[in-house]
Structure 1
Amino acid sequence: MNQFSVLLQKEWRENIRNYKVFWIPVVFILFGIIEPVTQYFLPQILESAGNVPEEVVAGFPVPAPEEILISVMGQYQFMGLLILILAYMGSVSGERKSGTATLLYVRPLSYPAYFISKWVMAGAVALVSIWLGFFASYYYIWLLFDAVDMGQTVQFTATYSLWILLIVSIILAASAALPGPGLTAAAVLVLIFIAQIIDGLLGAYWNVSPLKLPAYAGSWLIEAPDLSDFWWSAGITAVLIALLVAFGVWLSHRNAAKTKV
């Protein structure tokens, strides 16, 4: 536990030094604010374009507050995940490639403490960013449109948070497995892209899957999801996260010899 505490402090200082604890939440907050503001001023934007018929602008539907919050999640599904991948793709492989991990590996090192400290810090930054982003969006939706039920918003955000923890686990496990940050980013992007395509094409044939979590998150705002399917999906996701963390610990130990000296 003492070694874990020391390594966690190291990760905290590193995240402060490279400003991840500042710029990642700021980016998520900005995306959370931009969507409701854009939706609110969209008729004026279309009107100022000059080539849109007036009847189209006048009849432009006002989106429901819940729909705007789901649209924010759509932004996070692309730009948010990309930001997390770019921020943490070198968490393990970057240290091996640069040789900085040598300073750790020459000492008696607990690899579970080493990997889990990285996972805890990356997960904490990601979750704080998600919650701040959604609640910044919630505030502007309330200001410009109408209030979204707070209980539903918390359920929505908590469900999506589990999905984000899965993504963070995939990023760090890939970083432990692969030789460089660039390859890690490419592998994670391809994996997520293929998984989402498969779910989009064939997802109607199954209701229990970690890939369903974003959809279940959105359903809390419209109507509650089927709780049996939801809890099975959440449970499978939690088990998958635990397996990825264990896999990352094993790979960190196995690939320690590949560290550049």
Structure 2
Amino acid sequence: MKQWFTLMNKEFLELARNFKWIWVPLSFILLGVMDPLTTYYMPQILDSVGGLPKGAVIEIPTPSASEVFIMSLGEYQTIGILIITLSAMGMVAGERKSGVAQMILVKPVSYISYLSSKWASTVILMIVSLFFGLLASWYYTGVLFDFIPFGDFMSAFSLYALWIAFVVTIVIFCSSVFIQPGAAGAVSLAIIIIINLIGSTFSHLMQWSPTQLLHYASEVLVLDTLTEDIWFATGITFLLIILLLASAVAVFKSKELAD
């Protein structure tokens, strides 16, 4: 266990050296405040752009606080996932390519400790960043529209944080398979896009899918209730995370021993 915490400290130090503890949270905060601000000031923005007939009146229905907050969640589903992929795709592949991984694994360091410490540090970074980003969105949504109950906010955050942990696991798995960070990132994005497309197309048959966690988070905000399918989806997501991590360790070990 002491070895694992030593590796974790190394990963946190590496994240600090790469300024990820600064730019990733700031990026997530900007994503969080973008929709509340643009939605609230949209009439003024359209008016300042001009090009409308003289005397035209812009009437935009005022969305509810829940709808505005759900729009912020949608930003993390697109730009947020891209940030995660770019940030994490070189976690393993980069060290394999540079030879750092071989130097570490020459010592009595287990493959499980090596990969799990990278996964855990990345998950912590992304979930902390997500929390501050959604907290900023919650605050500005409350100031400009109406405050969502904080309990609903925490429920939605917890469900979406699990999806983010699943995305990180996919990226770490691909980073363990490929030695080129670019290839790991491209394949990760392709996998995430494909499972999102499948999940949205067959959502009526795949209530258990991790891709439904965003839908359930939105449902909590709108309906203020937790359905039974939520527990099934969270359980399946936890299971898939464990299976992906175990597969990452097995593939990474086989490739390192082959080299």
Q: Please indicate the TM-score interval, normalised by the length of the shorter structure.
A: over 0.9
* Whole-angstrom CA distance in 2 between matches of 1:145 and 1:201: 32
Q: Do 2:88 and 2:172's aligned partners in 1 also have CA atoms closer than 8 Å?
A: yes
Unaligned runs of 5+ in 2: none
1:247 corresponds to 2:247: yes
Deviation, 1:105, is 2.1
Query: Aligned partner of 1:140: which letter?
Result: Y
* Whole-angstrom CA distance in 1 between matches of 2:121 and 2:242: 16
* Whole-angstrom CA distance in 2 between matches of 1:142 and 1:87: 31
Provide the identity percentage.
Answer: 38
* Whole-angstrom CA distance in 1 between matches of 2:252 and 2:18: 22
Alignment CA distance shift 1:176-1:41 (3 Å): same
What's the secondary structure of 2:235's corresponding residue?
helix
Query: Aligned partner of 2:79: which letter?
Result: M
With a CA cutoff of 8 Å and minimum separation of 6, indicate the structure with the bigger relative contact order.
1
What's the secondary structure of 1:14's corresponding residue?
helix
Q: Do 1:3 and 1:110's aligned partners in 2 also have CA atoms closer than 8 Å?
A: no
| Equivalent position of 1:146 in the other structure | 146
The one-character-per-residue Cα deviations of 1:108-153 (angstroms, maximum 9, x if unpaired) are 2211111111011000000001110000011111111111111111
| Equivalent position of 1:166 in the other structure | 166
* Whole-angstrom CA distance in 1 between matches of 2:142 and 2:224: 21
Equivalent residues, number: 258
| Equivalent position of 1:184 in the other structure | 184
Unaligned runs of 5+ in 1: none
Deviation, 1:55, is 4.7
* Whole-angstrom CA distance in 1 between matches of 2:225 and 2:111: 39
Q: Do 1:216 and 1:225's aligned partners in 2 also have CA atoms closer than 8 Å?
A: no
Q: Do 2:220 and 2:226's aligned partners in 1 also have CA atoms closer than 8 Å?
A: no
CA RMSD after TM alignment: 1.5
Moved over 6 A (4+): none
Listed as ranges, the matches of 1:14-163 within 5 Å are 14-52=14-52, 55-57=56-58, 59-163=59-163
Listed as ranges, the matches of 1:156-235 within 5 Å are 156-224=156-224, 227-235=227-235
The one-character-per-residue Cα deviations of 1:4-31 (angstroms, maximum 9, x if unpaired) are 0111111011000001111101100011
* Whole-angstrom CA distance in 2 between matches of 1:12 and 1:226: 35
* Whole-angstrom CA distance in 1 between matches of 2:69 and 2:170: 25
Query: Aligned partner of 2:60: which letter?
Result: F
What's the secondary structure of 1:205's corresponding residue?
coil
* Whole-angstrom CA distance in 1 between matches of 2:127 and 2:28: 10
* Whole-angstrom CA distance in 2 between matches of 1:71 and 1:26: 18
Query: Aligned partner of 2:215: which letter?
Result: A
* Whole-angstrom CA distance in 2 between matches of 1:174 and 1:43: 44
